[in-house]
Amino acid sequence: MNNISQPNFEFAQSNWRQSIAVKITAQIIWVIIPIVFVSSIFLFNSIEKDQAQILSYKIDALNHRIYNTVLHNLDVSNSDKSAIIKKIAAELGFEAIEVVAPYYKLRTDIDTSQYASITRTLQMLSAESAFENAFIVITSYHVPLDHIIDQKRKNILAVMLLCLVVFSAFLVFSIRRWLYKPLKMLVDATESVTNGDNNITLDTSRKDEFGHLSTFLQHMLDNLADQHNKLRETAKAACEANTAKSAFLANMSHELRTPLNAIIGYSEIMLDEAGDRGDKIYIDDLHKTIKAGKHLLSLINDVLDLSKIEAGKMEVHAGRINVKALLEEIASTIDPLVKQRNNTFNIESDSSITFMHSDVTKVRQILINLLGNACKFAQNGQITLKVQLQSGKTDNNMIFHVIDTGIGIKEESLSTLFNAFTQEDNSTTRSYSGTGLGLSICQHLCLLLGGHIKVQSSPGKGSCFTVTLPADINKSRTLKLAQNNPLSLASNAN
């Protein structure tokens, strides 16, 4: 069975760099930053001009108001004038002023060296003034203009950054609410379906694209759940029918074998009598009848064995096996098959191999089936049965290699080779008789005995079937599982 890797559904919350909200926000911010930068350049350049113009307006206003105060308040005391002029300066944002008039002089009381100053001279042309054509000298002290511009720039930059942070937070919140959450809901639903959970209810109340997508996905999940339930019922019915079929065939073993054995037995008796009488006319026909009967009995035995395995009625009868005697018996059994297609047969066994503990009938059946296939698919070739003892940390395994120089197997056919009723292709079925059950039965028997089987083959170069069985079945870790459910093990082995 092919191992298909499962997709990873870890969402963006586990890796914030992959979050859609972060990506979209980053893209928008990267667009906004250049705009803000260019705008700030123009804004900063305009600040200096604006502040200079504002300062000029303030100085003109200050000079005008002081001029009017001095001109229209000649009868006011100097202390009152001083208070009025200081108030005017404070209202217009000046730190201090100096006013020198023909009859009045006001000086600042702070360190004017820390401030910038502008001096204006105004001519008094009022006819009502006692000092007509006199001059008023006004010196205004204020914070240096570059300090004001720097502070303005800092304030503007702070406001821009604050607005950018607020906008980014709002953007992330909006994207998370309108994009991230519904998208995550759909991803979670997809992950649940992938894990086999079809009982999912999506939010279909939204009217946007995600709402429409959720509606279609919910409809698809409902249909999928219905189809899954129908398939489950169909599979259950098919499994029950297959179990019933297997049980029926297993129970019919005696009824099918007994008449056929009688036919073969009476045919052999008739053959002996025909030989004694010298009736050569019937001898060839009886030989054909016996051969066809034995072939049919072999096919029935294969079908019944597979049915027993599928029905769970195949039992293991473990005992001590003399490996050398078993190999000699197998060689004697398949000798006619070997000679029939002009093949040669060799046995290679380690001298240290003496006994194993397993079911001798099933071990013999596995090896005879594999060697029978080797004889059938090889012509004028070499067939070898190689036996090895593999020592492990806890268990020892007996390994049987059945090697032939026959027609071989195509690579694309290896994956289905052990399926029941399967041969390599139709041409093989036409050229070589058989039901295609032999290898399937071998695999089931290997699993039943706690082992496994595998094959290596190349077209035109022959094949090598390797059977690995525990040397002592009582120590096999997989025996209990194999006896309880051999079919599940067979599917896993594929």
- C-beta separation of 111 from 17 below 8 A: no
pTM above 0.95, yes or no: no
Beta bridge partners of 467: 400, 453
- Mean pLDDT value across residues 130-147: 76
pLDDT value of residue 3: 44
pLDDT value of residue 2: 42
pLDDT value of residue 252: 67
Q: Which range (9-23, 189-203, 342-356) has the least confidence?
A: 9-23
Residue 139 pLDDT more than 90? no
- C-beta separation of 442 from 400 below 8 A: no
pLDDT value of residue 288: 81
Write down the mean pLDDT value for the chain. 77
Distance, in Å, from the CA atom of 431 to the CA atom of 438, rounded to the nearest integer, reads: 17
Half-sphere exposure of 430 (CA within 13 A, CB side): 3
Residue 484 pLDDT more than 50? no
Q: Which range (25-39, 345-359, 471-485) has the least confidence?
A: 471-485
Residue 15 pLDDT more than 70? no
- Range with the largest mean pLDDT of 4-18, 22-36, 362-376, 463-477: 362-376
Residue 5 pLDDT more than 50? no
The C-alpha angle 373, 367, 369, rounded to 5 degrees, equals 35
pLDDT value of residue 396: 86
pLDDT value of residue 271: 84
Higher-confidence residue of 146 and 198: namely 146
480: confidence class by pLDDT, cuts 50, 70, 90: very low
Tell me the residue type at 193. V
Higher-confidence residue of 378 and 426: namely 378
The dihedral formed by the CA atoms of 386, 391, 396 and 399, expressed in degrees to the nearest 10: -20
300-332 confidence digits (pLDDT tens): 777 777 777 766 667 888 899 999 999 999 998
pLDDT value of residue 466: 94
204-263 confidence digits (pLDDT tens): 777 666 777 778 778 887 887 788 888 888 888 888 887 777 667 666 666 777 777 888
pLDDT value of residue 208: 66
Distance, in Å, from the CA atom of 8 to the CA atom of 94, rounded to the nearest integer, reads: 69
Chain centroid to Cα 361, Å, comes to: 46
- Mean pLDDT value across residues 132-151: 78
Distance, in Å, from the CA atom of 58 to the CA atom of 140, rounded to the nearest integer, reads: 10
Burial class (CB in 10 A: 0-12, 13-18, 19+), 68: exposed
- Mean pLDDT value across residues 425-454: 72
Q: Which range (26-35, 268-277, 372-381) has the least confidence?
A: 26-35
Tokens, residue 147: 């300090």
- C-beta separation of 399 from 390 below 8 A: yes
Tell me the residue type at 44. F
pLDDT cut 70: percent of the chain above it: 80
Tokens, residue 256: 């099918």
Three-class HEC string of the chain: CCCCCCCCCCCHHHCHHHCHHHHHHHHHHHHHHHHHHHHHHHHHHHHHHHHHHHHHHHHHHHHHHHHHHHHHCCCCCHHHHHHHHHHHHHHCCCCEEEEEECCEEECCCCCHHHCEEEEEEEEECCCCCCCCCEEEEEEEEECCHHHHHHHHHHHHHHHHHHHHHHHHHHHHHHHHHHHHHHHHHHHHHHHHHHCCCCCCCCCCCCCCHHHHHHHHHHHHHHHHHHHHHHHHHHHHHHHHHHHHHHHHHHHCHHHHHHHHHHHHHHHHHHHHHHHHHCCHHHHHHHHHHHHHHHHHHHHHHHHHHHHHHHHCCCCCCCEEEEHHHHHHHHHHHHHHHHHHCCCEEEEEECCCCCEEEECHHHHHHHHHHHHHHHHHCCCCCEEEEEEEEEECCCCEEEEEEEEECCCCCCHHHHHHCCCCCCCCCHHHHHHCCCCCCHHHHHHHHHHHCCCEEEEEEECCCEEEEEEEEECEHHHCCCHHHHHHCHHHHHHHHC
pLDDT value of residue 387: 92
Half-sphere exposure of 57 (CA within 13 A, CB side): 6
Question: Rg (Cα) of the chain, in Å, rounded?
Answer: 52
246-305 confidence digits (pLDDT tens): 667 666 666 777 777 888 888 888 888 888 777 777 788 888 888 788 777 777 777 777
CB atoms closer than 10 angstroms to residue 31: 9
Buried b (16+ CB within 10 A) or exposed e, 449-486: bbbbbeeebeeeebbbbbbbbbbbbeebeebeebbeeb
pLDDT cut 90: percent of the chain above it: 10
Cα distance from N-terminal residue to C-terminal residue, the chain: 5
- Mean pLDDT value across residues 360-369: 89
